[in-house]
Structure 1
Amino acid sequence: MQRWDRIEAFIEVARLGTFSAAARHLQVSTSHVSRLIGQLKSQLGTTLLYRTTRQTRLTDAGALYYRHCRHLFDGFREAEEAIVDFQSRPKGTLRLTCATTFGERYIAPLVNDFQCRHPQLEIDMHFTNRRVELVEEGFDVAIRMGVLRDSSLIARRLCERREYVVGSPAYFERAAPPHSLAELPHHNCLRGSRDSWLFEINGHRREVRVDGRWRANSGPALLDAVLKGLGLAQLPDYYVTPHLARGELVPVLTAYQFTDTAVWAIYPRHRHLSPKVRQFVDFLVDHLPATLQGEGSFPR
């Protein structure tokens, strides 16, 4: 190892032009650099440098030796950079879970784009409307929507999300649009997987229990039912904005709309430094908002 120290000191002196500059770069004393150069001169049996008070120049032997040794150290640096790059690349298997419709429609295409950039990565996507326990079930990331409950998991906000209470023009020909939450019991409230709808009253979150003659644990089925005039429904923006823009659905109770919801990436704390998790979440932050906006927009 001592010989490599001597060669490195010589290369830096030749590259930077002075012993003092080489010493600063190597974070050693000038006398230490001078000693290493002297040892290298004795080892090779020839003078490599002409040193004066003003400058340092290579001898012919020194120039020849520098040309060969420089390539060696360039190779060492490239090897170190390759290791750093390898350690920072996403690798292994990325296991993620998301609600079915949102995952199939928006997350899966972005996951596929991410793997195109990192073909060495293996992907395992699991779409379900069941609340998955990340640590117990071995998932790296979950994409969740709405208001998060307290958790020891790390949550990163990916983009905004709003929910609308909507009905079709055909439904409102039969029933007057509600103007207060107290009027909801007079309407057929189409329910998904929840019995309560989320509202904001005087700056506070409030869940209101609703009831009706229709229920399904499917967002697309719920959207179809409300479009066909069967009742009112509360659905997130990515379902309804195109239909609102075309007048196929009408928003109601907008004064009570709860706005503090979002789409989140959730992951265990011990996965935080994993390149596959960190870079995938960064990728979603960069691309998911534009993907959702591409679906159309409605004034909020």
Structure 2
Amino acid sequence: MFGWEGVSEFVAVAETESFTGASKRLGISTAQVSRQVSALEARLAAKLFYRTTRKVSVTEVGRVYYQHCKQVLDGLEEAERAITNLQSTPRGLLKITAPVTYGERTIAPLINDFMVKYPELEVQLQLSNQKVDLIDEGVDLAIRLGKLDDSTMMAKRLGSRTQYVCASQEYLAAFGVPHSLSELEQHNCLLGTLDYWRFQENGKARNVRVKGNLHCNSGQALANAALKGIGIVQLPDYYVQQYIDSGKLLSLLDHHREQDDGIWALYPHNRHLSPKVRMLVDFLAEQLA
């Protein structure tokens, strides 16, 4: 049976004309190079090099053997490059989960761009505000918003989001502008799934309990209610930024706004080396930076 032992060492010595040079190229000791070449000569029952104290030169038999070995090693290197290129092109099934609204508005269009770039990819995108168990569901990648729970998952921050407190000019004209956190109790605060809003005061996080006549688990519905002058809302930028920019909603209590929180990519440890997961995460991070 043909053995690979000593072949790489032989080619390196033949090309550098030095056992020391070969050891530096291969990152192994000179003694190991010498042992491997000697074992190869013994196996072939042929002398491959002329050795003197000052010079190493290839024998005639060695030159013939070198030409064949060089072709084989070049072919092996080409085969490895082909496999690397194959693995570096995203293909096959990729299962992703993301929050509904942020997924619809931001993540899905970016994934579609990624699929245009890599048409051999098949994507199953599940938009849900429920936290999916990535291992049990076989999910490759999850997009999560806000503060992360302790987890054994790998996490990479893709970007950030800003929480705004805002209201329409009509509401503020009728009920006044709150200038402090304590004044919120005098206002109709439109609530989502929580009964408090998050702020920052004197450099520390503070939760303020609020109340109002509308409770809804849809950020879009709450933004619409604010636009119609029903009350004040606290919502992430992707719900209200366009309305703040256009002047339809006014941002309030900016000096108490909490620090931006994260937009995260979560994936199991065993997906870390998958080219399609790694490349998609890098792509999303670049687009959302």
Tell me if structure 1 keeps the 8 A contact 2:5–2:40: no
TM-aligned CA deviation for residue 252 of structure 1: 0.9
TM-aligned CA deviation for residue 63 of structure 1: 4.3
Task: Indicate whether 1:191 and 2:191 are aligned.
Answer: yes
Task: Choose the corresponding residue for 2:35, options 13, 32, 37.
Answer: 32
* Residues matched between the structures, number: 286
Tell me if structure 1 keeps the 8 A contact 2:6–2:37: no
Counterpart in 1 of 2:163? 163
- Quick one: structure 1 residues 14 and 133, their matched pair in 2 at CA, closer, same or farther if it must change by over 3 Å? closer
Determine helix, strand or coil for the equivalent of 1:189: coil
Counterpart in 1 of 2:72? 72
Distance in 2 between the 1:209 and 1:238 partners?
23
| 145-154 or 234-243, larger mean C-alpha shift | 145-154
Tell me if structure 1 keeps the 8 A contact 2:180–2:253: yes
| 48-57 or 93-102, larger mean C-alpha shift | 48-57
TM-aligned CA deviation for residue 103 of structure 1: 0.5
Tell me if structure 2 keeps the 8 A contact 1:197–1:209: yes
% same residue: 45
TM-aligned CA deviation for residue 147 of structure 1: 2.7
Tell me if structure 2 keeps the 8 A contact 1:14–1:57: yes
| 139-148 or 31-40, larger mean C-alpha shift | 31-40
Deviations 1:77-101 (A, max 9, x none): 2333444555666555322211111
Task: Indicate whether 1:220 and 2:223 are aligned.
Answer: no
TM-aligned CA deviation for residue 130 of structure 1: 2.9
- Quick one: structure 1 residues 145 and 37, their matched pair in 2 at CA, closer, same or farther if it must change by over 3 Å? closer
Gaps of 5+ in 2: none
Task: Indicate whether 1:124 and 2:124 are aligned.
Answer: yes
Tell me if structure 2 keeps the 8 A contact 1:163–1:258: yes
The letter of the residue matching 2:122 is E
Determine helix, strand or coil for the equivalent of 1:283: helix
Q: Superposed, which structure 2 residues align to 1:92-241 within 5 Å?
A: 92-241=92-241
Where in structure 1 do 4 or more consecutive aligned residues deviate above 6 Å?
A: none
Determine helix, strand or coil for the equivalent of 1:263: strand
Deviations 1:255-292 (A, max 9, x none): 22111522122334554454444443333222212xxx
The TM-score, its normalising length taken from structure 1, stands at 0.79
| 227-236 or 65-74, larger mean C-alpha shift | 65-74
Gaps of 5+ in 1: 290-300
